[in-house]
Every structure is written in C-alpha cells, then in structure tokens.
Structure 1
Amino acid sequence: MALPAAAQQISSEATEEIRPDEIITVVAHRQARAVSEVAGTVSVISDAELERDLVFNASDLIRYEMGVELDDSSNRFGYSGFRIRGVGGNRTAVVVDQVAIADRFAVGSFSDTGRGLLDLGLANRVEILRGPASTLYGSDALGGVVAVHTLVAEDVLTTPQHGTRVRLGFGSDADRAYGRVATALSSGQHSFLLAGAASSRAESEAQGLTEAERDPQDIEQTGALLKWQYASTYGELQLSFDALREERETQVRHSLGSGRQASTTALRGDDERYEWRSILSFNSSATQFYDRGEWRVFFQQSQTRQDSYEERGRLAQPLSIYRGFRYDYSNYGLAADLEYDTVFAGLQQRIGYGFEWSQAEVWDERDAWQFNQSTQESTKTLLGETFPLRDFPRSEISELGLYLHDEIRLWQGGPTLSPGVRYEYYDLATQQDSLFQSRYPDTEVTDLTHTAWLPKLGLLWPVSTNAEWFAQYARGYRAPPFADVNVGLYYPQFRVLAIANPDLKPERGYTFETGLRWRSIDTQLSATLYHNRFSDFIDSRAAQGFDPQRQLLIFQSVNRDQVIIEGVELRWQQQWHPNWASEFWLDYSDGEDRATGQSLPSLSPPSLLADVTYQASSGDWETRLILRAQKGQKQLYDADNAPLFAAPGYATLDWLVQWFPSHQLQLGAGVFNLTDRRYWSTAQVGNYPQDDPILPLMAAPGRHVRATLNYRF
C-alpha cells in the first residue's frame, strides 16, 4: 500500500537524518533511531567491539562501560543481573531479541537461580539504556534495560549464498577455553542460520591467592541458535530458537570451619541451569495503520537444579547432609511494536504504539536429608523444617502493557518533543498447592493485582548540525515479586514465621536526565546529569518483631522509604591523527537511603577510563592501552551498625592488540591488569562484613592474558 505524500516526505527526511556513520539503536524507542535522535543515554556495543574487546561473557561485556556493573556476589552461582547507575538485580530488565528473560530467585545460602544470560558468542549487538524505562518496557525496567540482539544470517554471510564464522578463544584467568561456529545459507526469499557455542573454565584466579586457597570449580556451558527468515512482499517472517545449558561443580572451601560451617569439613555444589526460547516475529510492510511494525509471539522456559553435599565431621556425631533445590519458570506471550509517520496540526510526528501481554508460571521445591554416621539414622527434618517444601505457593503471573509515545518536531530543524505513556496491568494469582499448604498450614497467602500509568516526557533540541541538547523525565515501576508477596518460612525450633503482605506496594522510580552531545569529524563529546528518586523499595522478609498472640518472631516483606541517586557522566573521544585516537570517560554518582541517612552500598565510587589507540597506516593492526581507575569505597554499615567491607581504590592497565593478516582472519590478544594489582569490584563485595572469608576469593584476577581467533569464509 502506498504511503500518503506527507508520510513519504517524513519517512524520507528521517532516513536522510541518519548518516551512514551514525550509530543506530533500537532499545530507546523499540524502533531504529540514530543515537543523536534519542533524548536519553544509550550505549551500543557492536559485533566489532565485542571482538575488539575480547568479550567472552557478561563481565567482559561491561568491562569498559562506565556506570554499568555486573551483580555477581557469589563465587558459586553466577551472575545475578546488571547494575545500571546503582540499580541492579531484578530491577534492571534484560531482554533477548525483545523478550525479557526470567528474574533471579534466591533463598538461603544454597539456592540461587542467578539470571540466565545468553551466551554472548551468539550475539551480534548489545544495547544498554540507562535509567527508568518502564514506559516502553514495563515492570523490571526500574534501573534500565540491557538488550541483547542475536546473530542473523546477514551477519554471517560472506557471499550472497553462504558464509561461516569461526571464533576461538583462551583466557588464563580461569583456564578458559571458548569456541563458536556460525553458518548461514541464503536462497531466494529464504535464509537460514545455525550457530553453536561452547566454553569451559575453572575457578577464576584471585590476585594474592594460590590455587590451593581457591574454591575449585569446573564450569561447562553450551549454547545453540537456529533462525529461519522468509522475505515476502508483506514483510519478513522470522522463526528463532535458542538454548543454553550450564553446569557448575564447586568445592566450597573458604567458609569451612567458620560461622555456620564451624563443624563442616567438606561442602560440594553440583548446579545445572537449562533454558530455551522460541520467538516467531513478523516485520510487517507498511499498512494504513502503521508504516513500520513488528509482531512477535514467544515462549521460553528455564529450569534450575542445585544440589549441595555437606560433611560435618567435627561434630561428636558426624553428619552427612544433602540439600536440593529445583526451580521452574515458563513464560509465553504476544507483543507488537508499531510506528506511524504523519502530519498533524502542521507538525511532523512519529507516533509509536504497541502492547505486550505475557503469562508466566513459576514454582520451586527444596528437599533435604540428614544422615547421622554414628547412629546410622536419617531424617528429613533440618532446623525444624520438614522436607520437601516450597518457599512460595505455585504462582501464575499475568502482565499487560499498552504504550503510546510520540515524537513531535515543533518546527523544521527545531526541537523534538517526545511525550509517552504506558498502562501496566499486573496480576499475581496463587495456584492450589497441597505441598505448600501442608508445610505452612498457618501461613496466609494472597493474590495481588496492580495497575499503573507510567508517563515520560523528552525534549531533543538541535543546537547546531553537530550538537544537540536533551532532557527527559521518566517514571519507573516494578511490581511486587511473587516471592515477597507470599513467603513460606516457618522454623518452629526458633519460633520464626514469615507472613504474606497483601498491602505490598510496587517499587517506583522517577528520573530527570539532561545532557549535551557534540561531534565533529575528529571529536565526540557528551555530558549527562541525572537525578533518580526511588520510593517503596521492597525489603524482603524484614523482621517485624515478636507477636505475643502467636508467640512467634514475625518476618514480612515491606516497603521502605526513598532512595536518591544523582550523578554525572562525561565522555570525550578524539581522533588526534589518522593513526592516534583516545577516549576519556568519567563517571561520578552519589546516593542516600533517606530512611537511614547512609550511603548506598550499590553505588560505585567515582570511576574513570582512559583509552589510547594506535592504528597502523596499513590498517592491518592496532594496539590499545586502557587505564581503569576507581576511588575507594566509602565506609558502609549494616542494619546493626556493624562496618561492612569497603573496597579500596585502584588503578589498573590493560593492553590489547588486534591483527588482521587477511580480510578473512582476525587475531586478538590482551594482557589484563598489567600492574598485577589486587582490587575488588564494589558491585561484588558491597554487602559483605569486613571479615567475611569469601572476600579474598572475590578479588579480581592478577595479571593474565587472553587470545582470540576469528575466521570468516
């Protein structure tokens, strides 16, 4: 169908505005935009940058991203999610091909699902949107969005008909080996992609520790991606399937003989996570209702199995203890992102609208037994808990989001105003669960329904042809998680009971952000200021005091007061000479918990990155020297006013080299932490006591090397 003349003119002008050398982002508007058109802060990490930075996993991905960190506070269970401007965990959305992945769930010391992050070898681009983004992404986007885009056939094809890419890698920091093969075929209107990746690694090195002092680990990960695309006059149809399996075997040594494990002589973990996802999407040609549109149907499932085996050999009667944890999450839904170019009231506009409906089912189960080696007796009751049991009743979560946003150009060459709003519906329904009811007969459960209106307003003002000023206000939202609304916790031995909270409020965020971007042929500058206010943060299973009627100590998830986070980000990229370039990036943030008046352990101290690059005139090799530095963490305290570990400041150097012997072959190598400095990531250790035995293991690796090979044919 032909577009109206006005719409054709707008579409043509929009295409002309995106210069060939500009970076394109999708995450900010759910439609393609040049970064210069976005009233906000977005990082786009391309496939070339993934190879250039020697990226193997999620921690490598954000190594050179200021203001973004990885939640990884355990040496056993893996990543918990991304932390953006001090807000992390389940409060930051992670989406793969526009489909949000499962949240993390953790209970106790032996059960933690982490968050399944697709093997980055199967990705061709990652985008990071900073700040609350619930207007477009709904619940869980309180802190921002990390969007992973997987490979498509076009990324792999070296001729019009076929292509293959091979990537191999090695890292000495964890005896890491990595391999990926992707092949693509194209014939007429059809194209196919098949990709597989595998990696193996041991425990990460920690500067200052010998191999005998670390917790031995053996981690195996495999991933697969399959895509079929069909191009027709009506649009492009794509069917994709990806799967990831991770197995971890860990011998926990660091905590033996101390604290709760004072009598423990051996502790081993055997963990496995499996997830898969299928997406059917249709990128539609223009219709009378929209000019650009994507429709998608998706289904995904993740399963976690974690087994712990403990020997308490220091007791008068030695014990063998087994703990098992199972977690299952399945999710399906339907969504559409549509966009229409029009002229209304004499103003050029791009109207975006869409919806996302999803339904998820989730359950967990913990099992355990204890064997007395002296009496040869066994029991399934530990610390007053009788197993098996659930930590929450089987639950079903339904969500519906409807959004509308507009980009209104007030006059030709002038500012663009971007209002938007989302209606969010969230429903948590508990299912009939005989196991939960039998274990917690006195625990009341509740269903929960919430609705919210989530507005945003952006302004983008071109100062000149090479510069723009932007400002935006946005509201974030996170619905109460199922495990906080209904909890199963009853220790009769200690007279402890957790109760549901039907009045639990959603967490909310409010952000104001403003910045200036300027660029020329050789220079790019940007400065951003932001002020984030969060309210009703959920404190999980908080102590509520002693109930004289029940004669029990009551725990309940409750809302807490406001949290304020403010910061500034400065970035300068300069091409000094055809062979020499540099980058300087400064990140400063500060925050306060208004309830306690204390600084936030989730915020990192001021940090900077400086990168100097030399590229040979021949273009067949380049070398980079990268400085990363961070100020020491402020002294922090726990709820009992006991001091927490404060990570000291550090400065470390990385040296990276890329060599292109031919158009088909690329070799990369790097030496990381050249100065062999001992340091910690504040995102990993911010909540640990000063004397926690895990702290030495959480130190970053000392000097180590990494090498990659990329071959296309």
Structure 2
Amino acid sequence: MKLTCAINPASAARMTNAPLARLRAPAFASAFVSTLALTAPALAQEDAVAEGQEDTPEIVVTGEGLEPALSNIVYSTVTIERDAITSSGSGRIEEVLANVAGFQQFRRSDSRSSNPSAQGATLRSLGGNATSRALVLLDGVPVSDPFFGYIPFNAIAPEAIGRVRVTRGGGSGPFGAGALAGTIELESAGPAMLEPVAASLLANDRGETEAGAVVTQPLGGGFGQVTGRWDRGQGFFTTPAGQRVPASARAGFDSWSLGLRAVAPIDPDTELQARVTLFDDNRTLRFAGADSSSEGQDASLRLVHRGEWALDAIAYVQSRNFSNEVISSSRFVRVLDQRNTPSSGIGGKLELRPPIAEGHDLRIGADYRRATGELQEEAYSAFTTQLRERRRAGGTNSNLGIFIEDDWEIGPLVVTGGLRADHTRIEDGFFRARDAGGQLVSETIAPDRSDWTLSWRAGASFYASRRLDLRAAAYTGLRLPTLNELYRPFVVFPVVTQANAALKNERLEGFEIGLGWQPVDAVVITLTAFDNEVENAIANVTVAPNLRQRQNLPAIEARGLEGALAARFGSVSLDASLAWTDAQIAGEGASLSLDGNRPPQTPELAVSATLAWEPREGVRLSATARHVGPQFEDDQENDRLPSATTFDLFAQMPLAGPISLTARVENLFDETIVTRNAGGAIDLGAPQTFWLGLRIGL
C-alpha cells in the first residue's frame, strides 16, 4: 500500500523529494443525460477554434471537487494512493481501507461472507454495533444505506477509485452529521489516472471469478465513464469442520455493480458532474436457505466552481432494498423472512468559499439528508413452520446542518476553527405485529421529536522546523440513530436483538495531539495521541439469556496512539500503520454492570505493513502483513475472538502492450480468523485463497 499523511504545505515545500504533499433507473438516467447534453457547447467551441473563428481558452475538467482544505493538516489524516488501491490481496475496497490501522467493520468478514447489514465502518475502536460511526463519501456524496447505515462495499469498484482520504476523529465540521469517528473520502479516478479502457478478469482456486472494467472516453470538453464489476463464487465454509451439519452451506456470493459518470464543462472555472450507480448483491450465510440480498439505485449531480468565489453544490437520491432469511440453528428451518426493506435517501450540500482576506480559507454552507424506510417481515414457528406474526416497522429521519469554518495560515502556523448547528428530526416511527389471523399482537407508535445541536472543532498545526510539524485539535460530533436501530428487531438465531424507538443521538467529544517528522528525505513518521468519548453510545445490550436490546450507554471512552511510517528507497517502499486503543464502557445507570467492559468487536491493537517493489513501469510486487488483536463478541465479555495475523501477496507483470499477468494471495498461511463466537458457535473469515488473471490498462 501507499499511505501519505497530510502535513503543513509550508513545510512540504521545504522538504526535498518529500513523499508527502499537501428512485429507479429511468428517472436517474434523465439527470445523467442532462449532463451529457452540456457537452454540446464544448463541442461547438472546439469546432469554432478549428475553423479559426474564435480563440477560446483551454478548458480542463478533472471530475474532482474543490481542493482539500488546510484543516486536513491539523487532524489525523491519511491518504491512500491509487497503486495501493488496485493492488490488495483480495481486490476489495474494505481491505484497502484496513491498511489504515484503526479502520474496522462490525465483523472481520469482508463483503463476500458477511451479512450486508453488519458492514458498518468505524475508526478508533468506537464500534459496538453494526452501524457506521464513520462518514463514508464517494465524490462528496454519502454512500451509507438510508435504513441500516451500513456501507455497500460490494458496489464500490477499487479500479475506479483514484484516491482515498481517511480522517480519524475530527468531528463533523463541514462534512455533515455522522462523522462521529471520522470521515472516509473516496475520490473517483479521472482521465489523468486512467487509460481509455481498463479491465481485469481473475479466478481463484475455488473457481470463483472477479471481473471489472472502467471505460473512460472524451465527450466534448468533458468525459464520460462506464464502470462495471461482477463477483461470483461458491464461497467457503464459514462454519468450522467440527461444527458442520447437513444444512451447513458455503458462503456463496453473486454481486454486480454498474456505474455511469459524466463530467462536462460549463465555463473555464466550472464543471458539472453526474453519476448513476446500480448494484445488486446476493449472499448465502452459514445454512442453506439463509439468503440475503441488497440492491440499490443511486444518482447525484455536482456543480464545482473553482473561481475566486469557489462553490461546491451536490444533490443526490438513493433507492435501496434489503431482504434476509433467518434459519434456525437447531431445526434448520426458516424462522424469519425479512422479505422487503425498501428505503430511500435524498440530500445535498452547498459549500461556498468566499475570498475574505489573504491567508484565510473560509467555508460557509449547509447540508441536508432525509432517510425513509419500512421493514416488512414474517416470523415462522421453528416446530410447525407455520406463520406466527407479520411485522411492519419504519419511520423518517432527517438532518439539516449549517456550518462555517475558517483556516488561517500565519507563516509557519495554520489555525482552524469551525461551528456547526444541526436540526435533527425523528418522526413517523412505528412498529406493528399481527398474528397469522391478522389480530394486533403489539404496536409502538413513537412520538415525533426534534432537536438543535451545536458542534465545534478547532486546532492548529505548527511548522517547527524543516522536518518537523506539530499539531493539536479538539472537536465534538453528532450521529442520529438509524431507522434500523430505532425500529427493526433482528435475530442471529438463537439471539434476538430488540429495537428501541427511544434512542437518543450520539455525541462525541475529543481531542488529539500529533507530529509529523521527516528524519531524512525518504522517510516520514507520524504519531497521534487521542482521547475520544461518545456519550449516549448505542450498543446491543444483553438484558436476558438470548435477548438483547439496543440501548444508549452512558459513554464509550477511547484513548490511544496512532502511528504511520512511509519510506521510499528507489523502487522499494514500506508503508506501515499502527493503532493502539484503550476503549471501555464508562458511566453509571442502567448499564452499570458493563462499566469498565471493553465495547464488543473492538480490538486493542491493529497493525498493518506493506512492502512493495516496483523495479520498472508496470511491474509491482508487494506483501502485506496485518495483525488484529483479540476482541469480544458480546458486551458481557463472555465470548472472545482470538487475535489474527494474516499475510497477503500481490504481483503484476506486463505480458504484451497494455496486458499484464496478475497474481494475488489472500491469507497466505491460512490463519484461522474467527469472525463470530456466539456461545461457542463459530464463524470463520476468508481462508488461504490464490487468484490468477489478466489486466488491461491497470
């Protein structure tokens, strides 16, 4: 991998050879076509130049947003470059993100062998349930599911990503509510990074296949891009051999995604970007018939103006659905059919950067997100297989944020500060259960509620010497409970987890200090010490044997150290990342019995290191070692998941022209990775897997 860490641009300029530097398809398609139509003036402009009628300035579109703000150097920010994104052992974006120590999903499984609703992303050991506490953005647009809050990693093709910026901590700032543990910004690759046609086709030793392609072509003064990916396979047995029964099944998967993107110039300083994404994902977990599916259709429009009054305006819409069948682990029959969970999300952001004074980078704006969804499921008797209950649940959450932030560069010092006000609404919430005859069994009508919350963040970075930067920051943040946490109960048989319509918003308070040190030109070391606390942290709390409920804990406290090393010696590079976190549940009240316990699914130590060799153009050999410390499955600390150390390999060699031979190895030494332990019932992560295939233009 290649990780870089943002540092003071003033110091970067002084470092010689420094490695661091500052709805549905038809409706969506209409927005995409509108952007394509804007290429016509650019085509006419080109024709005019060719005929000598007009000498117009060259217009260059990038498909990117505005330049990152100076505040990035104040907070703990890490950047993953494209060569690392396209050379992971598994070929999946979640593994690329795992190269930043401290990143985690709820479970250790990737998006081939986990339940989609468990794919929440978080940082700094601030997990504890399956919802994302980190805000994940693709070209400025949130990608989390409107109902569950999980990240559809299977819909993100690594070959189409140009850069990833991970900010751990930092509060919400101008990114929007939800950046409680940090922000993960994915930026699409444009024509400057991509060949006109880039594609890959690989197969592994289990007969599974992975195919992807990105076609990028000029359209007038802009460009159009089509991205496709298809992964399918029989999967592996997540159940250990000693626990398998006739009903045990492999973790089969079949997923595809299709993305259409167009970027068109409006004038020399302004461009319009449009995106449409469709995806479908089907998986089988643990038992035959335990099938889940998720699908989505997303669209967005983005207007970027890079003039004196810089502007970034985004509007987006999401249409998602999820289904899941639960199989009894004792009788191996269907006990729950979560057959339909339609949801939708709409939102947008407007950010203005006015020129107020020399050395200032001011950002003013607002953002909005509204999520609506409804659960539709049927519960069946494990003994008679007859219908017991029909359940419906859902509601609407919305958030309107107003923000202002200023970065002020004073010689070797950068000072940043910002305020954010969020108006949150939780409304129309309900849960209703009827028996097989239609009689009402239970009903909850949640009262509508709203609130205003003020958040802030501030910090400074000081260029102490030619090779040393010092920084410090403090911040607060906000996250709403998801519709899933508020209204949807779920079962991982035999454990039932109840929803809780009375959940409060989560609040973060934290601070950090750090440094960036470049002892020699080829080596950069960064270190951050942090102390973060999430008040009203939402967790799955044990209330009885085989029964849990989502509750607000008084707090989760997380203190720790984050470190990174980036070294470049000719064609050889070493990138390493470490996160050590002392996290615990703190406070008194209903969860007094949990006081001092470590939050579930949160390891104390995570380490990742990649050694790469690129002797010439098109050749890359790399090895990645990753260690994740032990963690607990549950809040009572009864079930322990042992530590796991894995090694991945990647090799790419040119064959002829743009065609390369690619080989990958996941989990080289076949380490046993325990991803779930429910009273001794074990699930396992990916075993040793060999991949071989061809790439074109990658």
Task: Sort the TM-score into its range (normalised by shorter chain).
Answer: 0.7 to 0.9
Name 1:701's counterpart in structure 2: 687
Preserved contact between residue 614 and residue 623 of structure 1 (Cα < 8 Å): yes
Q: CA deviation at 1:93?
A: 1.8
* 1:326 equivalent among 322, 340, 357: 340
Cα distance in 2 between the residues matched to 1:605 and 1:541: 21
Name 2:387's counterpart in structure 1: 380
Distance 1:320 1:698, change over 3 A: closer
Preserved contact between residue 326 and residue 334 of structure 2 (Cα < 8 Å): no
Matched, 1:280 2:291: no
Name 1:366's counterpart in structure 2: 377
Cα distance in 1 between the residues matched to 2:504 and 2:449: 10
Cα distance in 1 between the residues matched to 2:202 and 2:488: 44
Preserved contact between residue 71 and residue 416 of structure 2 (Cα < 8 Å): no
Name 1:671's counterpart in structure 2: 665
Cα distance in 2 between the residues matched to 1:566 and 1:239: 41
Query: What's the CA shift string for 1:306-331, capped at 9, x where partnerless?
Result: 245669869xxxx8756243111111
Distance 1:625 1:194, change over 3 A: closer
> Greater relative contact order (Cα 8 A, min sep 6): structure 1 or 2?
2
Name 1:86's counterpart in structure 2: 125
The aligned runs of 1:132-531 (5 Å cut-off) are: 132-156=170-194, 158=195, 163-172=196-205, 175-204=207-236, 209=241, 215-233=249-267, 235-250=270-285, 252=287, 267-286=288-307, 290=309, 292-308=310-326, 323-343=337-357, 348-369=359-380, 379-381=386-388, 386-387=389-390, 389-390=391-392, 392=393, 394-410=394-410, 413-430=411-428, 439=440, 443-485=444-486, 504-519=503-518, 520-531=520-531
Cα distance in 1 between the residues matched to 2:480 and 2:361: 30
Preserved contact between residue 182 and residue 193 of structure 1 (Cα < 8 Å): yes
Matched, 1:593 2:585: yes
Q: CA deviation at 1:401?
A: 0.8
Distance 1:207 1:215, change over 3 A: closer
Distance 1:131 1:699, change over 3 A: same
Equivalent position amino acid for 2:559 in 1? E
Distance 1:67 1:361, change over 3 A: same
Distance 1:117 1:628, change over 3 A: closer
Q: CA deviation at 1:425?
A: 0.9
Query: What's the CA shift string for 1:451-489, capped at 9, x where partnerless?
Result: 111100010111224432111111111123345555789
Preserved contact between residue 240 and residue 280 of structure 1 (Cα < 8 Å): yes
Preserved contact between residue 450 and residue 479 of structure 1 (Cα < 8 Å): no
Cα distance in 1 between the residues matched to 2:101 and 2:181: 15
The aligned runs of 1:101-112 (5 Å cut-off) are: 101-103=143-145
SS at match of 2:680: coil
Question: Which piece of structure 1 moves more, 208-217 or 514-523?
Answer: 208-217
Extract unaligned runs of 5+ from structure 2: 1-8, 23-63, 491-495, 588-594
The aligned runs of 1:122-133 (5 Å cut-off) are: 122-133=160-171
SS at match of 1:701: coil
Preserved contact between residue 341 and residue 374 of structure 2 (Cα < 8 Å): yes
Identity of aligned residues (%): 15
Name 1:551's counterpart in structure 2: none
Q: CA deviation at 1:120?
A: 2.2
Distance 1:348 1:33, change over 3 A: same
Task: State the structure with more CA Rg.
Answer: 1
Q: How many pairs align?
A: 623
Preserved contact between residue 612 and residue 624 of structure 1 (Cα < 8 Å): yes
Name 1:109's counterpart in structure 2: none
Distance 1:117 1:637, change over 3 A: closer
Q: CA deviation at 1:282?
A: 0.9
Distance 1:593 1:310, change over 3 A: closer
Question: Which piece of structure 1 moves more, 331-340 or 580-589?
Answer: 580-589
Preserved contact between residue 226 and residue 241 of structure 1 (Cα < 8 Å): yes
Cα distance in 2 between the residues matched to 1:462 and 1:246: 48
Cα distance in 2 between the residues matched to 1:335 and 1:418: 21
Query: What's the CA shift string for 1:529-576, capped at 9, x where partnerless?
Result: 11111211134577599xxxxxxxx99754322221111122223334
Question: Which piece of structure 1 moves more, 224-233 or 88-97?
Answer: 88-97
Cα distance in 1 between the residues matched to 2:20 and 2:327: 50
SS at match of 2:354: strand
Name 1:550's counterpart in structure 2: none
Cα distance in 1 between the residues matched to 2:369 and 2:442: 31
Cα distance in 1 between the residues matched to 2:284 and 2:489: 28
Distance 1:181 1:488, change over 3 A: closer
Q: CA deviation at 1:144?
A: 1.4
Cα distance in 2 between the residues matched to 1:46 and 1:120: 15
Q: CA deviation at 1:153?
A: 4.7
SS at match of 1:93: strand
Q: CA deviation at 1:63?
A: 4.1
Cα distance in 1 between the residues matched to 2:299 and 2:270: 20
Q: CA deviation at 1:609?
A: 3.5
Distance 1:461 1:432, change over 3 A: closer
Query: What's the CA shift string for 1:358-387, capped at 9, x where partnerless?
Result: 2222111112455987xxxx8432xxxx22
Preserved contact between residue 399 and residue 426 of structure 1 (Cα < 8 Å): yes
Name 2:139's counterpart in structure 1: 97
Q: CA deviation at 1:14?
A: 12
Question: Which piece of structure 1 moves more, 424-433 or 83-92?
Answer: 424-433
